[in-house]
Amino acid sequence: MKKWLTAAGAMWLALTLTGRAGQARAPVVLWDLASSPFAATSGSLARVEGRVRMDGASAFAIPNSAFPDPSCFTIEMEIRFGALPEQSALCVLDQRVSDTGFALEALKWGRVGSPLTATLNGIAYARNSFRAASNQVWRLVFAVRDGAVAVYQNNVAGPQYLLRITPNLTPVWIGRTTPRKGQTRVADYDILSLKVYGPETRYYLPGESAETMKNGFVGGQGWLVRLPVKTAKPLPNILYYGDSISMGYGDRFTELMKDKASCYHWCHFVGGVDHFPSAAFEAAASVAPFDIIIFNNGLHSLHWAPDKVTDAQIAHVARSMIRAFRKGAPHARLIWATTTPHTAKGRPVNGFGELNPIVCRINALTDAVAKEEGIERIDLYALLKDRLDLAAGDQYHWSAEAYRMIAEALRERCAALLRTGN
């Protein structure tokens, strides 16, 4: 295939079906913006030469009949955005009814990133970024393939969620946006094309297949676990749980454990002390037959000051976490990781932050619980307390070298446990 293959051509190739004797067949379009009737519209809407101009208040719906098999379909669309102001929102797709159907919502919010959130069966998964830009064509593919939901932007694969969408009988709305407080609607864009393909189509990028799937997730109410890349031989399974610190060291740790263990990741934290989500932890821990689970609640608990949260409440959260993981993965070795230091702001970093005493208090209390529960412990606080020069300067995060140190420490501990098997 020639290297100058256009983006449109690449998309067509990805949608092409393979028939007998390897002969290619063009995919069958079940609904086309250029000619197919709308199920409903709202606001001012005009279709001109197969395109639709959207003003933020306008929306249209694709009839439910365009999705004869809700377990396998593909929505392909191209949008050219005009202005994309900060804190603006767009509901690209919406077929939600209670805990059924799906939606895809984009938020342009540079201050905290720009998420592209998929809501599937009533659960929102915000593990993707909105990759559109003003005055450029944004290509989106929403592919549902027999138990996997995948999102592609500009011919680049995003997250893939291993679940089946619970169907309903409502149409799929395009552009029906209800912004939250502090947001405005994206109000300046043209939908250049939109097509729906049926169950005969399995959308993959060239060279991609179900066997080569990367960036896959499985989740439920309150939990979402990133899956490892498939391996040719069975390996021990490790789950590591934590906040953004775990995202910092995660890829390094996974690479260090390559060919030694399959590494799963759950990025999450428990911020409250009144109710512990045991069901979510038990479900996440049962995703695979885990041999090791590494976990830490992180710096999101910095508001657990002595005048707001008691020692007993902190101990209860730690104990509940241990017991929920143990119930979901009864054969796994559990490793409690202490929270890394809260550092002074700015660069160079030469001291602890004003909230570091809270970190020390939480570490001491949870360490005591870990000892009582008879689980492994690894002291990441001690690893970095004398290396504040490696802090990022934002009071919470760290440099690549610090994350390398964490990954190496975890590798050593996991390797020892896997060698001994006890």
Position 3 in a domain: no
Query: What is d(CA 46, CA 142) in angstroms, rounded to the nearest whole number?
Result: 24
Which of 162, 197, 232 represents a domain boundary (last residue)?
197
Same domain, 326 and 412: yes
Domain count, the chain: 2
Query: What is d(CA 417, CA 376) in angstroms, rounded to the nearest whole number?
Result: 10
Query: What is d(CA 32, CA 153) in angstroms, rounded to the nearest whole number?
Result: 19
Q: Which domain holds residue 122?
A: 29-197
Position 7 in a domain: no
pLDDT 10s per residue in the chain (422 long)?
333 333 344 444 455 443 333 445 678 999 999 999 999 999 999 899 999 999 999 999 999 999 999 999 999 999 999 989 998 999 999 999 998 999 999 998 765 568 999 999 998 887 789 999 999 999 999 999 988 999 999 999 998 898 889 999 999 999 999 988 889 999 999 999 999 999 998 899 988 877 766 678 888 888 989 999 888 889 999 999 999 999 999 999 999 999 999 999 999 999 899 999 999 999 999 999 999 999 999 898 999 999 999 999 999 999 999 999 999 999 999 999 999 999 999 999 999 999 999 999 999 999 999 999 999 999 999 999 999 999 999 999 999 999 999 999 999 999 999 998 65
Phi then psi dihedrals of residue 80, to 5 deg: -110, 120
Give this prediction's pTM.
Answer: 0.76
H or E element at residue 408: helix 400-420
Nearest to 418 by CA among 285, 264, 261: 261
Rg (CA), the chain: 24
Same domain, 107 and 233: no
Same domain, 52 and 119: yes
- Cβ neighbours of residue 104 under 8 Å, at least 6 residues apart? 91, 92, 93, 94, 116, 117, 118, 119, 140, 142, 151
Position 17 in a domain: no
Same domain, 185 and 224: no
Position 24 in a domain: no
